[in-house]
Amino acid sequence: KAVLDECHLGYEQSPDSLNEDQKRILEKKLAVRLISQKCGLEAIKYLESDMMKFKDVEFTSKELSSIIDGNSRVGKNSVAVQYFLGDRKLKNEMLTAWRTYKTRLIDYVYRTMKEVGNLSHLQFFYSPESEMAGKISDLLMLYLVDQSKPIIGFNVGDRETKLSARGTIKLVQKGLNLSTILRSA
C-alpha cells in the first residue's frame, strides 16, 4: 500500500492498466523495498527480468507461465492450454482459476510467515497443500525470510511427506546442495 501511495497509483489499478513509465516507477520502488528487506539479488533480478509480448496474445511471457502453472495447481490443467491454443470461450474460466490460485498462494504465504520455524542452520514450514509447497518456498526464500540459511517446506499426507527446499545463489556458491541433503535425510 505504501509503495502504491509513493508511486501515486490507485489500489484498484491492475498491472495491465499501467503505462510503461508507471511500471518503471513501480519496479524501482519495489526494488528499493526489496533491498531494504535485505533480499538477495535474485529477487531484484526476477523483478527486472525481460517480459516478452506475443503477437495475438494479450499476456506477457511471465503472465502466460503463471496462468498455466496456476490453472494446473487448482486442477484446471487443460483450461489454460486450450485457451492459448485458440479456444477463447475459456478465458473467464482460465482467469478465475488463475485468480483462485494467486489468492490461495498469497493467503498461504501470509499464514506461513507467522509459523516459520527457525533453527540455527535452517528454516522450515508446513505447507497446507503439496502442490503449493514449492511456490511458497520460492516466495519465502526470495522475499521474506532470512536468506543466510535455506528453507524447507513439508507437506504431510496420509502415506507420504513431500518436501520442497530452497536456498539462495549465495548459499549454493558456499557449497549448499539441497538435493544431496534431502536425498540422504
Q: What is the pLDDT of residues 95-131, one digit of tens each?
A: 999 999 999 999 999 999 999 999 999 999 999 988 8
**Quick one: 86 and 133 in the same domain?**
yes
**Quick one: 155 and 175 in the same domain?**
yes
**Quick one: 29 and 93 in the same domain?**
no
**Quick one: 55 and 107 in the same domain?**
yes
Contact 43, 30 (CB under 8 A): no
Tens digits of per-residue pLDDT, 66-90? 999 999 999 998 999 999 998 999 9
Query: What is the grid cell recorded at 51?
Result: 517480459
**Quick one: 90 and 71 in the same domain?**
yes
39-53 average pLDDT score: 66
**Quick one: 54 and 12 in the same domain?**
no
List, in order, residues 6 or more apart from 125 with CB less than 8 Å away: 112, 115, 116, 117, 136, 140, 151, 152, 153, 154
The whole-number pLDDT of residue 60 equals: 80
Q: Which residue has the higher pLDDT, 80 or 37?
A: 80
- Answer yes or no: is pLDDT of 6 > 90: no
Query: How many domains is the chain partitioned into structurally?
Result: 2
* Domain ranges, residue 68: 37-184
Q: How many CA atoms lie within 13 A of 14 on its CB side?
A: 5
The whole-number pLDDT of residue 103 equals: 94
Query: What is the grid cell recorded at 34?
Result: 526489496
The whole-number pLDDT of residue 99 equals: 95
Which residue has cell 527486472?
48
**Terminal-to-terminal C-alpha distance of the chain:** 42
**Quick one: 27 and 109 in the same domain?**
no
